[in-house]
Amino acid sequence: MQNKTRKVRNFRLSLMDDETHRPVIVARFTKTKFIIGAVMSAVIVCLVLYSLIAFTPIRTFIPGYPDSTSKRAAISNAIKIDSLEMIVSRWELYSENLKRILDGEEPVRIDSLVLQYAKDSKSEFSEEELKKRDSVLRSNVRKEEQFSLSSAESRNLHIEGMHFFTPLKGVISQGYDPLIHPFIDITAPANSMVYAVLNGTVISSGWNDESGYTIQIQHANDIISIYKHNQKLLRQVRDKVTAGEPIAVVGNTGALTTGDHLHFELWYKGEAVDPTKYINF
């Protein structure tokens, strides 16, 4: 038998001058090259369209994409939800007290609820069991302090085991990116209070042309928090602050800002970390 080799068919695409009939552009290709070229062209077109939509303001024209109006509405709704939760809690307490008064009982007080909770938690164990637990705890504490001058010096919690206070109640307008954006931006209404996330000492408090009014706080365990673009600073250098204490008023100061928001950075052992992993916003 004679082996028949399959002949490769070549094609030519020519662009010719209509008057002289001379070829201007001549492209030769096979069927395989044509398919590969068409696929690559389609991929390039898709990448260009994706880049235009993802990295340019064109994406705001997509139906359903959040714009500045929807972001402001989300902030307003978040604030209203917090207010409604407080109102509902007050009405629940009011209705409970009204029911008790109508039934001839004493109204409920907030301090009595706290005391009742403490009493209920304490009544879970007998008095002997509580004394036993207390003696075990004291023994453990003495062992920990046996070879140290202070128990506070010997305890070094990791950042995962610490409780952070939310610096600002608002909406995260731009998230954390370790390379491009190693911090977060929190949008909130003007004149909102900015709070310290942990106990610490103010190490920097002043004006910066790019960041506006900026304040930095040194916390325990090599943690530093930075708050930028504030309208007003409430603490000075060397001031001691506690978690949840007001330290500034959110604003729109500095060259690198486009609206009222808080530029918040969290540093741990000399490296910027994602605040959203440790703080509930």
Percent of the chain beyond pLDDT 70? 74
Task: Tell me the Cα Rg of the chain.
Answer: 33
Average pLDDT, the chain: 80
Q: What is the pLDDT of residue 183?
A: 94
Q: How far apart are CA 209 and CA 206, in angstroms?
A: 10
Average pLDDT over residues 198-217: 94
Q: Are 251 and 137 in contact (CB under 8 A)?
A: no
User: Is the torsion defined by CA of 164, 166, 171, 176 positive or negative?
Assistant: negative
DSSP codes joined into one string, 30-74: EHHHHHHHHHHHHHHHHHHHHHHHHHSGGGGGSTT---HHHHHHH
Q: How far apart are CA 171 and CA 173, in angstroms?
A: 6
Report which of residues 156 and 34 the model is more confident about. Answer: 34
DSSP state, 263? Answer: E
Q: How far apart are CA 235 and CA 39, in angstroms?
A: 61
How do residues 180-204 score in pLDDT, each as one tens digit? 889 999 999 888 999 999 999 999 9
Q: Are 219 and 279 in contact (CB under 8 A)?
A: no
Q: What is the pLDDT of residue 109?
A: 60
Report which of residues 58 and 165 the model is more confident about. Answer: 165
Place of tokens 């708050």: 227
Q: What is the pLDDT of residue 8?
A: 64
Q: How far apart are CA 254 and CA 266, in angstroms?
A: 20
Name the CATH superfamily housing domain 160-277: Glucose Permease (Domain IIA) (2.70.70.10)
- 243's CB contacts (< 8 A; 6+ apart) are 163, 164, 165, 195, 196, 197, 198, 199
Q: What is the pLDDT of residue 246?
A: 95
Residue-range domain boundaries for the chain: 10-55, 66-132, 160-277
**Over the range 14-51, which residues count as b (16 or more CB within 10 Å of their CB) and which as e?**
eeeeeeeeeeeeeeeeeeeeeeeeeeeeeeeeeeeeee
Q: What is the pLDDT of residue 151?
A: 42
Range with the poorest average pLDDT among 95-109, 244-258, 263-277: 95-109
Place of tokens 């996330």: 197
Q: 3-state DSSP call for residue 9? A: coil
